[in-house]
Homo-oligomer: A and B are copies of this chain.
Amino acid sequence: MPLHRQISAYFISKISSGAWPPGMRLIPQRELCRQLGVNRSTVVTALGQLAALGLIEGSRGGGTRVAASSRAGASGPDAAARSTGAAGQLGGNWNDYVEEGIHYPNLPAVQAINRLEYEAGLIRLGTGEPAPGLLPGESMRQVLLELAQNPLPPLSYEEPLGSLILRRAVSQELSKNGIEADPSSILITSGALQGLQLIALGLLPRGSTVLLEKPSYLYSIHAFQSAGVKFSGLPMDKDGLLPDQLAAAAIRSKAAMLYTIPSFHNPTGILMDAGRRDALMDIAGGLGLPILEDGAYQDLWLDDRPPNPLKARDREGRVLHLGTLSKAASPGLRIGWIVGPEPVVRRLADIKMQTDYGASSLSQLAAARWLEGGYHEQHLVLLRGKLRQRRDFMLQLLDIHFAGLASWNIPAGGFYIWLSLNGTLSLRRLFKAALQAGVLLNTGDLYDRSDSRHLRLSFAYASEDEMDHGIAALANIINNQMT
């Protein structure tokens, strides 16, 4: 069968099965050519055949859609009922609903990144996860073998707070950072991201204001905004949040809580020093301001051990502390935790039960073995060494390619270097040009909507070869675009 016929047959099967419903916008011709690896004329021929069959049509906003009348019967009495909106005032099928719903979509750039991360061959200079080679494949196989030897594999549901075995192991782990928490103060979540989602849905009333560092990772996700919560950003210096500014902003905005990443902040890599941590706790205590502490990067120090988390300084139940195995051991396990006062974690556990009935038991038991067996401790030592090497390598590359173009911090831990360009440019245009050159970026506007001169670089994901090539290509593009 000629190529264009194969393409039109594929389209026909999608449309006739309802997988591509009436009104669905088709991907642009250029993108189609790229994905199918065929030339434009082949695609044009195929689309012409489909249009002749009345299956697709030009859409008002430009582009091509599946024809509204593509379904048999759609022009009969059914269609009349539909257009008068007899029952479905919202339309005829699920496709009409994709713009509805109370949860915001991801930012278009985040959607693009989520999709593009699964395309082979791109150099991912901003990805906030450890490269597959940094993950502990061999010792996790050992953990799976141990689980397989268990006479009863973990196939049933776990308790609302999560597996007691895992909570005990997490409690043990937290004590190494000075946090004393019984298993009854710990809720296991499907990654720290779910922790944020549960807090947004379960603890904050609509219209509340959350204080946070600006820029912040939290701007790049929609958990809080979808729950009707507003953000108010606070400035930082090289030692973290400015406590004086915090007090003024909290009073002015009647803030409901402070979200902070004190250790190796995402995206700036900033480490809050011990004095700031104490000052912050004092001020929050005086104001009666609850704190949500994101400890995702706490254990990924590269130079010196960071000061203990805010939660270790808390005797009032003021701090909810988030932790995760995603950044060090395995993103795919989807295991995180929330530590806080018992009534609060019970409320969040109740919502979690309604949301997904608990995290995977298999993941929970694997995580428990991982922590209990001492694998985590061992792996952290190795990982820190490898991350240190990657950081230093990326810093060298920046010295070579970005001197005079930008400035940057030297992060003492975590994954990120926050690149400040010496001039402004269109970050959207930069993203596109980099993608064209095979480089996937996390631009600063993801973390602060008004930003036009920062990039979050990650030394955790790309290989040294890729960094070498990618940073050079990036400098080249920026040189051309920056005014």
Could you tell me which A residues sit within 8 Å of B by CB distance? 14, 16-22, 24-25, 71-74, 77-78, 81-82, 85-95, 97-98, 100-103, 105-106, 111, 114-115, 118, 129, 132, 135-137, 140-141, 144-145, 147-160, 180-182, 184-185, 189-191, 193-194, 197, 200-206, 208, 221-223, 226-228, 247, 250-251, 253-257, 285-290, 314-318, 320, 329-334, 340-344, 346-347, 350-351, 353-363, 366
Most chain B beta-carbon neighbours within 10 Å: one of A181, A201, A332: A332
Task: Tell me if B361 and A334 are in contact (CB < 8 A).
Answer: yes
**What is the bound-complex CA distance between A152 and B332, given in angstroms?**
12
- A87-B21 contact, Cβ under 8 Å, with A95-B343, A140-B155, A227-B102: no
B92, B105, B157: the one contacting A347 at CB < 8 Å is B105
B14, B118, B202, B222: the one contacting A103 at CB < 8 Å is B202
A25 shortest CB reach to chain B, Å = 8
Residues of B within 8 A of A193 (CB): 354-357
Residues of B within 8 A of A89 (CB): 254, 256
Task: Tell me if B205 and A101 are in contact (CB < 8 A).
Answer: yes
Task: Tell me if B356 and A95 are in contact (CB < 8 A).
Answer: no
B98, B208, B222: the one contacting A343 at CB < 8 Å is B98
A334 shortest CB reach to chain B, Å = 5
- A366-B356 contact, Cβ under 8 Å, with A92-B288, A331-B155: no
28 pairs of residues in contact across A and B, judged by CB atoms under 8 Å: A17-B180, A17-B315, A20-B342, A81-B286, A82-B287, A82-B288, A86-B251, A88-B250, A92-B290, A93-B341, A94-B320, A98-B203, A98-B346, A101-B200, A101-B204, A129-B157, A132-B152, A137-B152, A156-B330, A190-B356, A193-B357, A197-B355, A201-B226, A223-B355, A330-B361, A331-B357, A334-B357, A362-B363
Task: Tell me if A103 and B363 are in contact (CB < 8 A).
Answer: no
Task: Tell me if B137 and A317 are in contact (CB < 8 A).
Answer: no
Task: Tell me if A318 and B155 are in contact (CB < 8 A).
Answer: no
Task: Tell me if A137 and B155 are in contact (CB < 8 A).
Answer: yes
A54 shortest CB reach to chain B, Å = 16
Residues of B within 8 A of A19 (CB): 181-182, 184-185, 317, 341-342
B91, B287, B366: the one contacting A88 at CB < 8 Å is B287
Task: Tell me if B16 and A102 are in contact (CB < 8 A).
Answer: no
